[in-house]
Amino acid sequence: MRLTIQPIFDMKILGIGNALVDIMTSLSDEKTLATLNLPKGSMQLVNEQSMYRALDETKGFSQVLASGGSAANTINGLANLGVQTAFIGKVGNDEMGAFFRSDLEKIGITPCLLRGNAPSGRALAFVTPDSERTFATYLGSAIEMTADELANDMFKGYSYLHIEGYLVQNHKLVERAMELAKANGLKVSLDLASYNVVEANREFLQSMIEKYVDIIFANEEEAKAYSGRTPFESLVELSKYVDIAVVKLGEKGSIVKQGVQVYDITAVPAKSIDTTGAGDSYAAGFLYGLTKGLDLEKCGQIGSIISARVIEVMGPKMDEQRWAHVKGMIDFVEKYEQQ
C-alpha cells in the first residue's frame, strides 16, 4: 500500500549549544599525539595555549573544517533534510567565528550567534592511520554564553527547541532557555549528550525534565547514569515526565516510549568508521519525522538511517551524494507501509 503523509503544518526548529569549529586533522603516525601529550583515543578539554600549540604542530597536515557541537550537528542534519532551522551559540570575533557563521548559512541555517571575548571554540580531532580519533577540545567563547543574553525574540516563530546536554553545567542558561521556549509555545527536546555530565548534574536535570522537557534522547550510558537501571527501565522512568522518551542502543537499535506505547527500532546495518555524531544525527532524523507528522516508529527508523550512514564517514557531516542516498531511503519510509 502506498502512503504519502503530508506535514501537519510548517514547523521550525531552533537549536542551542556550544558553537565549536571541528578541525579534522589526518596524521601520518602517532608521534604528534605523543608530542602533544594526548593519549590516543582520548577526549580532553584543553586551554587556549595548548590549543594553539596543537594547531602549530599540525600546520602542515591535511585538515578539514566544519561547524560542530552536538546541537549544531543535529540542526545541520535537519537543515539538510529541508527543515527550517536556526542555531543559538557564541563565537569569538575571529576567523573561526566567521567560518562557523558562514558554514551555517550555506545550508540555510539562520545563525543567532552572540559575540564572546575569548577565541571561538574548536574541537581538534586527530585521526591516526588506523582511523582512531583523538580529541583536544577548546571551548573558548562557546562557554561564555549567559542566561541574560537570551532574549524572547530569539524563540518566536519556532515549534521546537533542541538543546544539548553539554550546556547543562550552566544551570541558569539552560533554565532560561527552557523558560523562554515554553513562554513562546515551543516543545523542548533535550539530548543528554554525556554520561559524566548527567552524573554531575542529575538533580538539576531531573528538575528541568519534570518542568519543561517534552522529548528526551539518551544513549545507554546516559540513561544508566540518570536512573541507575537497565535501558528499558530507564526508558520507563524517563517517560513518566516527558511526552516522548528515546534510548539509543547503538548497533542494537533504539527504544521509544510515548504513553503506554513502546516501539523497538531496529538498527540499520552500517560499516562503521567513526561513531562521532551518530546520536546527534539520530535526533535530527527523529525530529524530522515529527515535523512531517509521521508515527514514532517511522521517526525512529529515519533516525536509524541517518545515524547508520554518518558513522560510515569521518566526522559528523556527510557530503551531498551521501545525503541524496539518505533522502531516498527516508522517502521510502515516508511513503510506504509494509503489508
- Report residue 185 as a C-alpha cell: 509555545
Q: What is the pTM of this model?
A: 0.90
Give the H/E segment covering residue 162.
strand 160-164
pLDDT at 295: 95
Residue 49, C-beta contacts closer than 8 angstroms, at least 6 positions apart: none
pLDDT tens digit string along 117-131? 999 999 998 888 887
Determine the straight-line distance between the first and last CA of the chain, rounded to whole angstroms: 7
Residue 56 to residue 122: CA distance in whole angstroms: 14
Helix pair 296-310, 278-291: axis angle to 10 deg: 150
Residue 325, C-beta contacts closer than 8 angstroms, at least 6 positions apart: 309
Residue 176 to residue 173: CA distance in whole angstroms: 5
Half-sphere exposure of 279 (CA within 13 A, CB side): 23
Contact assessment for residue 301 and residue 326, using Cβ atoms and an 8 Å cutoff: no
Angle (nearest 5°) at CA 335 between 215 and 322: 75
Find how far residue 176's CA is from the centre of its chain.
Answer: 20
Q: Hunting for cell 539520530 — which residue is that?
A: 282
Residue 59 to residue 197: CA distance in whole angstroms: 33
pLDDT in tens, the chain (339 residues): 223 334 445 799 999 999 999 898 888 889 999 999 998 877 788 999 999 999 999 988 888 888 889 999 999 999 999 999 999 999 999 999 999 999 999 999 999 999 999 999 999 988 888 877 788 999 999 999 999 999 999 999 999 999 999 998 899 999 999 999 999 999 999 999 888 889 999 999 999 999 999 999 999 999 999 999 999 999 999 999 999 999 999 989 999 999 999 999 999 999 887 777 889 999 999 999 999 999 999 999 999 999 999 988 877 888 888 999 999 999 999 987 543
Which domains are delineated in the chain? 12-20+68-120+140-335 (3.40.1190.20)
